[in-house]
Amino acid sequence: MFHSLSRLLLSSQNTGYRLSLRLLNTSTPITRGRYATDQIKYVKSVISSSKNLEWSTLKKDTLEIKGSINSQNIDAVFLKVMVNGRNFEAALSFAEYLKSSNAELNLGSINGLLVLFYEMGKENELSEEQKAFILESYKDLYNKYKVLDSTTCEKLIHALCVINEWKKALKVLEDIKLTSKPSHSAYSLIIASLFNVNKKSDALKIIARSVADDRPIQHTAYVAWINYIIRKYKDKKTITKYLEEINMNIFNNSVSISEQTAQLVQETYSNLNWNAQFTRIRKIDGECMCCNQQLDCLKLSEEEFQMLQQNIKQKLIVGSDLFLKTSPDELDRFLRFVNNTAPYDVVLDALNIAYIARNGNLDRVSVLSMVVNYFESQNKRMLLLGRKHMLGWPRKQMQQIMGKTCSFFTDDLSQDDPYFITAAILSGSHTDIVSKDLLRGHQFLLKDEQLRLVFRRWQWQHQCMVFLNKRRKLIVQPPLKFTPCAQKKNGAWHLVYEKPHETDSFGPQINDGTPDLTTWLCLRPPNASVNK
């Protein structure tokens, strides 16, 4: 394989490298250890300042410097430094040196070259020799290792997809799943490759698998999907019909798209004479600032809520990860308590609520009392869930609070978050929760992707949050009146997208768990009216 590599690199030298590369990281250890940067700085300095490099001397001098580069990984590290630094002439020279010394490329070096050819292939068609190297790498690696590590699998998938070897890429995908979840990009590149060769049904199957693995597809896959539709169909109505499948996929999986994908969708629909505009959604009522339509509240069906409730019950029965830090006795006491006192209108995460006092110069009990009084004034039946150490707080105030609520206090080492989630769901579909905890960790405990989506919708529709303003006045943020995910209404689509993270010039903003309402796309059919 190495001799074909040498021919490949030499034949590529005359083609030029007018590429803008964004190379993926490899697993080669470069910056480990106290003195590692000294070695890397030295290597970079010599390579960048010299044209006719003496590689034996450079390797010898590098190894004399303290650091993590050693005789086993030095070739891979050299190659990575040169590829990441876009110094391809030096990389070619080093490859010739390896050839002349009859050295065999190690796994790290092979991975680095696979990344290089993937990046090259994104911009220009690879030569036959370059394609042959990728295929030989695939063959030789499997002959040698039988089962590949996940890092090598990822690099191999990228390289195979760039030359449309999707069948081999699918085989490698299965190997990744033996030890870990494939990355977003691995899934998306395979999906894109399948659309590129008009294998739509296969692509949709992989999309379903990526969603099940919590790996929403990336821009690469959306580009290939849209291009497939435009390539196959010429009539605007037919194109619109199949673009609808993309929107429905986004809706069904409750995902947001990237800003880059949003721009592509906006341009595609504009070319079909649709009114495609970027917009924002008003938080108070979900109204689109472009078309004045209000997003719907996509309430859980009775079947969906029962599915969520049943899953919670099953976790309690089998003692799942939901209660890692609780005792069987406490769990039994809690279940009997809920069975005897439910249903509730509101479940309060007492400790979470109390700690907003840190931002308002009020004591914790006073804040908790304010929240309880607020919901009491609305005639709400409350369950207060706290920890036992809270019983040591000012006795009179705590007794007043407990007199207005049902209350349950867990051991101080228990996880109280799962208790209030469970109490609310077991209480019924009408029950709200009060907490600033975004509950992200608990979503991951739900292994089924459909359950995670249902839980997220339940959370949006039932989670209240409390804040203190600068005047120490209590602000209660009610659950959203709309569902902040992609949806269709009166023929118009509204899609949420994400901008790359930017520093806010107005300072940090409160993260209340609501998706960004300033980054939406409004898609309306030709001649669609605007609500007044």
pLDDT at 146: 81
pLDDT at 271: 96
Query: Which residue has 């005789």 as its token pair?
Result: 71
What is the spatial distance between Cα 341 and Cα 379, in angstroms, rounded to a whole number? Answer: 16
pLDDT at 7: 45
pTM more than 0.85: no
* pLDDT for 26 beyond 50: no
Confidence tier at 14 by pLDDT (50, 70, 90): very low
Residue-wise pLDDT for 256-296, tens only, equals 999 999 999 999 999 999 999 999 999 999 999 999 999 99
What is the spatial distance between Cα 181 and Cα 193, in angstroms, rounded to a whole number? Answer: 19
* Residue 510: DSSP 8-state: -
Domains defined for the chain, CATH in brackets: 2-160 (no CATH), 263-297+484-524 (no CATH), 302-475 (3.40.50.11980)
What is the spatial distance between Cα 514 and Cα 501, in angstroms, rounded to a whole number? Answer: 16
pLDDT at 8: 47
Which DSSP helix (H) or strand (E) runs through 263?
helix 259-271
If one compares 383 and 511, the residue with the highest pLDDT of the two is: 383
Tell me the Cα Rg of the chain: 29
pLDDT at 317: 55
Q: Is 50 exposed, middle or buried (0-12, 13-18, 19+ CB in 10 A)?
A: exposed
What is the spatial distance between Cα 58 and Cα 43, in angstroms, rounded to a whole number? Answer: 8
φ/ψ of residue 298, rounded to 5: -85, 80
2-16, 326-340, 364-378: segment of lowest average pLDDT: 2-16
3-state secondary structure of 332: helix
122-133: average pLDDT: 85
**Could you tell me the CA-to-CA distances from 80 to 108, 152, 171, 178 in Å, in that order?**
9, 15, 27, 27
Beta strands in 155-202 (DSSP E): none
Confidence tier at 179 by pLDDT (50, 70, 90): confident
Mean pLDDT in the chain? 84
Provide the residue type at 130 as one letter: Q
